[in-house]
């Protein structure tokens, strides 16, 4: 395991290409794999999580060729997947295991899918129960991976999810592709809608409105070339850094600004950050833009309710920003962060305390007072990519040296993060 040492910097300047959106990349590979032809996917994320999805699909008989800036996926159709010869390994990726489970639930074979230690401790009841209602048989130990899924004919259901989770919703919708009738999913709040937009692009009969999504099955998916925008969750680390560090200006190019993912922009506005959008276009139903951010004076805010699903991946870096904001920032309704790659609320509170921040951990969030001068410290990444990246940015404004333990875990979502960060540092 490799540690990373970082120090305070004086300025960030330059333009950055965000890596391909990880959420959209998973969906592009899976939907292309069960489509009726060849799909060229450009802008594909190189994240280890996405590589896990590709490896699972190859094990299911899908041919995926590497291509410049992406991949070529040879779709096998809705019923062309083959029984795997070994256990499917989703690695650290909750998206891989949950979305593929929806597809596996409809196949005429049995498959087992698992992941690393972190993934094996993440909750799977939330997908097992609806898939069981649809007719799949899933064996597990205490509703945790590994999952052994015996697929077969599925029936449409109306399902009210207790959590606003795009992974849960997508799992059910993908199973609904195979079920006869209308499968409906409702959520407490509207989660990201990349699955719905891509299904629509590929010809599925799907409708969504606010916190309801419905798909009519069975249906075929038609191959489409897909261009993936930059990942706004990855860009968020640089957006916050550019607004925190003095004398800075950064441009993030070709970033996806889907309304249900761009809660970070709403939050930056509410906290007083100076940013601008340019070059706005839409491809494959996904809007994208360049975002320019400058050093700003931050002030506190309250983050909660329907906003949380739109910023769930950005909360770690927003917690760092809150330490520099004038006033008390409250993060609430974010209990879901306790069942991510790590218990992110506990990890944030522990590391922020080590750096001298004024933070109070609550069951569903954090209360952070600022501004506070952060001190360099030795910090545990908890093998969580977003914790490692968030505290790497914190190190750039802290006094003294900061060490991020097991920093290579950033490759789970953002390979090359540290190289790009070093390229924009101006001391």
Q: Could you list the active site residues? A: 313
Closest CA to 98 of 201, 197, 183, 27: 27
Residue 105 to residue 183: CA distance in whole angstroms: 14
Contact 20, 46 (CB under 8 A): yes
* Cα 29 from Cα 66, distance rounded (Å): 12
Supply the Cα-derived Rg of the chain in whole angstroms.
21
Three-state DSSP state, 91: coil
**Beta-carbon neighbour count of residue 355 at 10 Å?**
24
CB atoms within 10 A of CB 108: 11
Sign of the C-alpha dihedral, residues 222, 223, 228, 232?
positive
Q: How far apart are CA 225 and CA 40, in angstroms?
A: 5
Other CB atoms within a 10 A radius of the CB of residue 279 amount to: 12
Q: 200: burial class by Cβ within 10 Å (0-12, 13-18, 19+)?
A: middle
Sign of CA dihedral 1, 92, 306, 255: positive
DSSP state letter for 45: -
Q: 33 CB contacts (<8 Å, ≥6 apart)?
A: 57, 60, 62, 64, 73, 75, 76, 81
Q: How far apart are CA 167 and CA 172, in angstroms?
A: 9
SS (H, E, C) 333-402: CCHHHHHCCCCHHHHHHHHHHHCCCEEEEECCEEEEEECCCCECCEEECCCCHHHHHHHHHHHCCCECCE
Q: How far apart are CA 404 and CA 382, in angstroms?
A: 10
Strand extents, DSSP E, 198-285: 205-209, 212-217, 226-227, 249-256, 274-283
């Amino acid at each position: 395991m490799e540690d990373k040492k970082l120090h305070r910097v004086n300025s960030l300047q330059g333009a950055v290409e965000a890596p391909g959106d990880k959420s959209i990349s998973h969906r592009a590979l899976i939907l292309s794999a069960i489509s009726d032809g060849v799909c060229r996917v450009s802008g594909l994320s190189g994240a280890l999580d996405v590589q896990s999805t590709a490896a699972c699909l190859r094990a299911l008989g899908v041919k995926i060729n590497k291509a410049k800036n992406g991949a070529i996926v040879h779709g096998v159709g809705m019923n062309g997947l083959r029984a795997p010869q070994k256990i499917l390994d989703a690695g650290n990726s909750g998206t891989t295991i949950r979305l593929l489970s929806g597809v596996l639930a409809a196949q005429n074979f049995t498959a087992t899918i698992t992941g690393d230690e972190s993934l094996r401790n993440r909750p799977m009841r939330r997908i097992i129960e609806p898939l069981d209602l649809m007719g799949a048989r899933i064996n597990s130990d205490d509703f945790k991976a590994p999952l052994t899924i015996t697929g077969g004919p599925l029936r449409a259901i109306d399902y009210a999810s207790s959590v606003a989770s795009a992974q849960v919703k997508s799992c059910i919708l993908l199973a609904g592709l195979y079920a006869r009738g209308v499968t409906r999913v409702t959520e407490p709040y509207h989660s990201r809608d990349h699955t719905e937009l891509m299904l629509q692009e590929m010809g599925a009969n799907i409708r969504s409105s606010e916190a309801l999504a419905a798909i009519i099955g069975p249906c075929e998916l038609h191959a489409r070339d897909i261009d993936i925008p930059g990942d706004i969750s990855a860009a968020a680390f640089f957006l916050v850094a550019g607004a925190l560090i003095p004398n800075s200006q950064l441009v993030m190019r070709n970033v996806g600004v889907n309304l249900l993912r761009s809660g970070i922009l709403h939050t930056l506005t509410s906290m007083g950050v100076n940013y601008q959008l340019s070059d706005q276009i839409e491809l494959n139903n996904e809007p994208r833009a360049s975002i320019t951010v400058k050093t700003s004076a931050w002030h506190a805010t309250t983050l909660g309710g329907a906003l949380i699903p739109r910023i769930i991946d950005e909360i770690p870096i927003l917690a760092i920003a809150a330490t520099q904001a004038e006033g008390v920032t409250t993060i609430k309704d974010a209990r879901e962060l306790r069942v991510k790659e790590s218990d992110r609320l506990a990890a944030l509170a522990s590391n922020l305390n080590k750096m001298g921040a004024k933070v109070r951990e609550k069951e569903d969030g954090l209360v952070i007072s600022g501004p506070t001068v952060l001190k360099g410290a030795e910090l545990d990444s908890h093998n969580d990519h977003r914790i490692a990246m968030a505290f790497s940015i914190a190190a750039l404004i802290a006094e003294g040296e900061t060490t991020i333990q097991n920093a290579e875990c950033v490759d789970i979502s953002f390979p090359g993060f540290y190289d790009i960060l070093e390229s924009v540092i101006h001391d």
